[in-house]
């Protein structure tokens, strides 16, 4: 396990603030001699430090897949599986799979398939709750399309939520990418949509808890 680079500054600031609070807590204890208050505030500081650090954790997990597998791009829970009209890039019917990421999930994002990046687009937008039906089209988001070597393409989209206020990504058009390699990060609770070709074999169902780089979402046919 490692700490994601997007968390270095936030962790440093958070731990500094908690350290100052704990210093004040110590002086308060020496003045009032209230052991219960000192222990309570100390425990709170430890919990907050843990929550800040764990949010930016990235487990060192190998990605095992077959050539046509579509792997899960993020940790979370499956909240949508439906046939929809994709209106940004394909302009045709696709199977949408949506993954809701809570603040307790790993928030690094991974390529669902290998291939060539054909489309990268950042959209400014709103900050509706991530499970809102219009969050996929109205929220701040980034959209990516990877063309697989078999000629099929998969679109996936990072979506900001009511708490998530920064989307980070590291891929560019015409870049060759590999399944399971990191392509981005979303700071605080959010969602990822994956749009698959009609006819893909779906391997998950609604309410499934999924893991990035581990869970097989589907197989391209």
Which is it for strands 92-101 and 108-110: parallel, antiparallel or unpaired? unpaired
Strand partners, 186: 167
Distances from the Cα of 193 to the Cα of 86, 106, 167, angstroms: 11, 16, 14
Query: For residue 98, what are the β-bridge partners?
Result: 80, 193
The yes-or-no answer on residue 142 being catalytic is no
Residue of 98, 142, 190, 200 marked active site = 190
Q: Report the distance separating Cα 209 and Cα 100, nearest Å.
A: 10
- Classify residue 102 by burial, with Cβ atoms within 10 Å: 0-12, 13-18, 19+: middle
- Return all residues near 188 (Cβ < 8 A) that are at least 6 apart: 55, 103, 107, 161, 163, 164, 165
**Could you give the residue numbers annotated as active site?**
190
């Amino acid at each position: 396990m490692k700490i994601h680079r997007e968390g270095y500054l936030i962790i440093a600031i958070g731990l500094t603030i908690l350290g100052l609070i704990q210093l004040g807590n110590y002086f308060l204890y020496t003045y009032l001699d209230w052991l219960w208050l000192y222990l309570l505030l100390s425990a709170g500081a430890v919990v907050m430090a843990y929550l800040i650090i764990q949010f930016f954790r990235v487990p060192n997990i190998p990605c095992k897949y077959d050539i046509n597998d579509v792997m899960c791009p993020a940790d979370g829970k499956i909240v949508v599986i439906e046939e929809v009209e994709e209106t940004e890039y394909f302009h045709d019917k696709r199977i949408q799979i949506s993954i809701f990421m809570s603040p307790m999930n790993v928030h690094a994002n991974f390529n669902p398939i290998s291939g060539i990046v054909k489309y990268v687009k950042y959209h400014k937008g709103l900050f509706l709750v991530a499970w809102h039906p219009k969050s996929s089209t109205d929220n701040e988001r980034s959209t990516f399309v990877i063309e697989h070597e078999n000629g099929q393409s998969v679109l996936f989209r990072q979506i900001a939520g009511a708490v998530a206020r920064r989307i980070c990504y590291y891929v560019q058009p015409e870049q060759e990418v590999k399944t399971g390699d990191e392509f981005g990060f979303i700071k605080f609770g959010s969602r990822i949509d994956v749009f698959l070709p009609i006819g893909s074999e779906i391997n998950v169902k609604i309410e499934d808890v999924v893991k990035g780089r581990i869970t097989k979402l589907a197989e391209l046919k």
